[in-house]
Amino acid sequence: MSAPITQDLVTIPRKLPEGPTNIIGLTRPQLRDALIAVGTPEKQAKMRVNQIWQWLYNWGVRDFDLMTNLSKAFRVTLAENFVIELPEIVTKNVSTDGTRKYLVRIAGGHEVEVVYIPETDRGTLCISSQVGCTLTCSFCHTGTQKLVRNLTAGEIIGQVMLARDDLGEWPEPGTRTYDSRLLSNIVLMGMGEPLYNFENVRDAMNIAMDPEGICLSRRRITLSTSGVVPEIARTATEIGCLLAVSFHATTDPVRDKLVPINKRWNIEELMQSLAAYPKASNSERITFEYVMLDGVNDTDEDAKRLVSLIKQYNIPAKINLIPFNEWPGAPYKRSSNNRIRAFADIVFKAGYSSPVRKPRGEDIMAACGQLKSATERARKSRKQIEAEAGMKPE
């Protein structure tokens, strides 16, 4: 008789990669545990975390040996067990309007794009959370690229650190600068859906907000989501940043086509979760992003439906109108300036701020929705995109 077939349900732990740990991206508790694991006495661990934290995130130092308030022996231990590793800037393009686009290489040779947008009263860094995206919004260039992988917390905060390097913005060791920062705001509006990489985004943003380091206020960080409803409440409690939502349509059939995650969580469910967003208040309004697509979502009726939906759910909101940025093979056209103005007017008269987002860095393909790393282009044809969007080919 043959032996009964049994299934081995024991999970064999995956062998961890050999070698030192990257210290960038560890949260304070993770860093504390890691220091204790390499022999730091528990009683000293908190102080050591504070010291290392300041060198890394307040002064931007990349060499343990320069951390001069640590003993030589401790610096050697650190160097033996940890590395300070950031992604690498492969290329930098500067637009005629001052926008800088960095192509950044992460482990494994993948690339993401990071965009710095200088304005008179602020400087905003648009960072990526994933290589590619699992979602397939039909107007978005990133959506034509398959998800390659989630970024680690170190790779997410690393984008901020690289930009500070390039802007020359780390204060001299021993000093602090809070005023007139070049990099004053972060928006999670680059490649990927941040709420599908929640833990890493959360940890990276908590590092960005830490008062002993980069020290950006939570109100200077905006996370944009296409509408991952179950993670919206967590964003408020575990990150506490401002929220933007890629709304783009006022009826379910149209939103299903533009933002297919709508088939999973529809407009009603999304609006309910936004109405419950505990941080939402008049001073911390939720941004409704609305891309203006010619003949698709840009009528006066759309504008009226948009404001009545927001009123119905009583959501403190501002509406950010985004002229569609074209990309090669895109199945849509940008609405005319007159149409955008008429739409904005209806929204404004209904009592909502309705700024039209000025496309920045278009000449270097750095504008919203144009981001896609050259090496990973999926090269979907126009036909494929239209088919997925449920549109009739021309």
Contact 169, 182 (CB under 8 A): yes
127 secondary structure, DSSP code: -
**Beta carbon nearer to ligand SF4, 192 or 213:** 192
For β-strands 130-131 and 149-150, DSSP reports them as antiparallel
**Beta carbon nearer to ligand SAH, 103 or 368:** 368
Residue 137 within binding range of ligand SF4, rule CB under 6 A:
yes
Concatenated DSSP letters of 68-113: TTS-HHHHHHHHHHEE----EEEEEEE-TTS-EEEEEE-GGG-EEE
Q: Which does 362 bind (CB under 5 to 8 A by kind): ligand SF4, ligand SAH, none?
A: none
Residue 192 within binding range of ligand SF4, rule CB under 6 A:
yes
Residue 143 within binding range of ligand SF4, rule CB under 6 A:
yes
Among 115, 133, 163, 303, binds ligand SF4 (CB under 6 A): 133
What residues contact 272, with CB distance under 8 A and at least 6 apart?
313
The residues carrying an active-site annotation are 113, 368
For β-strands 100-105 and 111-118, DSSP reports them as antiparallel
Among 197, 222, 226, 297, binds ligand SAH (CB under 6 A): 226
Residue 288 within binding range of ligand SAH, rule CB under 6 A:
no
Q: Could you identify the residue written with the tokens 């950010």?
A: 320
Q: Which does 111 bind (CB under 5 to 8 A by kind): ligand SAH, ligand SF4, none?
A: none
Nearest distance in Å: CB 290, ligand SF4: 12
Q: Which does 324 bind (CB under 5 to 8 A by kind): ligand SAH, ligand SF4, none?
A: ligand SAH
DSSP three-state, residue 114? strand
Q: Sort residue 47 into left (φ over 0), alpha (ψ -120 to 50) or beta.
A: alpha
Nearest distance in Å: CB 150, ligand SAH: 13
Stretch touching ligand SAH by CB under 6 A, among 37-45, 163-171, 219-227, 232-240: 219-227
Amino acid identity, position 61:
V
**Beta carbon nearer to ligand SF4, 48 or 202:** 202
Encoded tokens for 28: 């304070």
CA pair distance 259, 254, nearest whole angstrom: 8
Among 139, 288, 343, 352, binds ligand SAH (CB under 6 A): 139
Residue 124 within binding range of ligand SAH, rule CB under 6 A:
no
CA pair distance 311, 313, nearest whole angstrom: 5
Residues that bind ligand SAH (CB under 6 A): 139-141, 189, 193, 224-226, 246, 289, 291, 322, 324-325, 368-369
Give residues in contact with ligand SF4 (CB under 6 A). 133, 135-137, 140, 142-143, 192-193, 226, 246
